[in-house]
Structure 1
Amino acid sequence: MVVEIEMGWRQLLFENYPVDPAIVEPHVPDGLDVDTFDGSAYLSVVPYTNIDVRPKGLPAWAGSPLPELNLRTYVSHDGVPGVYFLSLDAQGVPGVLGARLLQSLPYYYARISMDSTGDRIHYRSTRRHPGARHAAYEATYGADGDPYEAPEDPLTEFLLERYRLYTESPSGRLRTTAVEHEPWTVYPAEADVTTNTLFAANGFDKPDSEPVRYYAPGVDVLARRSQSV
């Protein structure tokens, strides 16, 4: 039985590239519609760390950390908006295996380091998953402006205020997982990205558009059980 999971998402950079929807559509399963904002789909690179990852009901001290990096896009199913993950790189072997087996999420094992100097986060990820395409990412990032609530801005709300993720099982069936957390508080972000091969690893050319970037200190999250749609 798949349990519900509690965790915290911390020190996130959302690096959001507007792209032509036709670029994204071949990478999204049948049954999901690519969501757009002012005619653009988005590909988003999100480095961060999970903290206190544990089954619902256990105390936070019983959880474990799980630094992570994902490439995602935005979709809907029968009008219900959500996130579709193209790839997820994570440090913890048990978490990677569990997410692959139990939630059909495209996780890959990676070596990830994450530390800080003052108000800047230094993040580095290198994929080490056997048989997977190489993917690496390195950046220094942090807040660069005043905080605001994501629902206050239409684009920020479109990109961040999503409470459902969609996946495709090995048999081709769509599945969904609901997530619960408070609305995002975000800052405009400054980022110096020195390495990013996630797009190539997922079959995309690097977008020629300028990304919209946000930094978020984080939220506490409850992930419900995955279910068929």
Structure 2
Amino acid sequence: MRKPWIMKQEWNDLVFIHWPVKVSDLRPHVPSCFDIDTYEGWAWIAIVPFQMANIQLRGLPVVPGFSQLLELNVRTYVKYKGEPGVYFYTLDANHLTGVSIARYLFGLNYVTARMSLHQQKDTYHFLSRRTHIGLTKAHFHARYRPLSPVLRAQPGSLMYWLTERYALFVKRGKRIYKGPIFHQNWQLQKGEVEIPMNGLTDFLPSYVFDQKPVVYFSKTLHTSIFPFERYD
């Protein structure tokens, strides 16, 4: 029986920016314990900027100063023992305490950054500059906007495969952990993005980002985070 949730979060003004990538180009950058998940033979890399709000730990009220942050993650899709999930390369955030807690408790590669998110009419401007001590500075700037009405992703579609995932995997030493996440199905809109600067994914060949990305926008989503489960 699953343990109760430990944290609730609200994800706002989120955009999925996805590119297909050859498995052979991605494989050196994913721990060998994970199988790379593919859709029609392609692996996928994603950059996902968004605002996290109404962060609440179980049994505690929403705490001012800790209840929201900006996040920018780089992720791909993997399987472990046949179960699909998300593998994160980096998770930049503009909250030093939140970054420290996430690194200590979950072993996720959270790093600090200076960030801003502004909306002008229907367009969102997201800027990030990594400030984490010991890491090379990485800048990211994107302008994105929704283009369509809200869509429901259909099982079997690329949209569903990319977004409807309810676990993340992390390797800590020799141990593998799964972080279960619960949320209702995404309400997504097709979108478009301009990326004047991207220093987050230099580990992949340039052809990946010469392609037009697949873009989906989500205005808001409520999520529940559950205790990490260790695989024996």
Task: Please give the range of the TM-score, normalised by the shorter of the 2 chains.
Answer: over 0.9
1:117 maps to amino acid: Q
Match of 1:35 in 2: 37
Match of 2:184 in 1: 182
1:159 maps to amino acid: L
**CA shift digits 1:136-162 (9 cap, x unpaired):** 111111101121012366101100000
Instruction: Quote the offset at 1:64 in angstroms.
Output: 1.1
Instruction: Quote the offset at 1:57 in angstroms.
Output: 3.8
Question: Aligned partners of 2:219 and 2:228: how far apart in 1?
Answer: 26
1:11 maps to amino acid: D
Structure 1's unaligned 5+ residue stretches are none
Instruction: Quote the offset at 1:59 in angstroms.
Output: 4.0
1:19-168 matched pairs, under 5 angstroms? 19-60=21-62, 64-151=67-154, 154-168=157-171
2:213 maps to amino acid: P
**CA shift digits 1:120-179 (9 cap, x unpaired):** 11110000000112211111111011210123661011000000000111x231111000
Match of 1:15 in 2: 17
Question: Aligned partners of 1:36 and 1:219: how far apart in 2?
Answer: 25
Identity of aligned residues (%): 33
Query: How does the TM-score come out when normalised to structure 1?
Result: 0.93
2:177 maps to amino acid: R
Number of aligned residue pairs: 224
Question: Aligned partners of 1:153 and 1:211: how far apart in 2?
Answer: 20
Question: Aligned partners of 1:181 and 1:157: how far apart in 2?
Answer: 14
Question: Aligned partners of 1:142 and 1:57: how far apart in 2?
Answer: 36
Structure 1 residues 150, 56: closer, same or farther in 2, change over 3 A? farther
1:116 maps to amino acid: Q
After superposition, the CA RMSD in angstroms is 1.5
2:14 maps to amino acid: L
Question: Aligned partners of 1:205 and 1:108: how far apart in 2?
Answer: 23
1:115–1:121 CA contact under 8 A, matched in 2 = yes
Question: Aligned partners of 1:79 and 1:152: how far apart in 2?
Answer: 18
**CA shift digits 1:43-86 (9 cap, x unpaired):** 00000010011212434466511100011000111111100001
Structure 2's unaligned 5+ residue stretches are none
Match of 2:204 in 1: 204
1:132 maps to amino acid: L
Question: Aligned partners of 1:125 and 1:179: how far apart in 2?
Answer: 26
Query: How does the TM-score come out when normalised to structure 2?
Result: 0.92
Instruction: Quote the offset at 1:222 in angstroms.
Output: 0.6
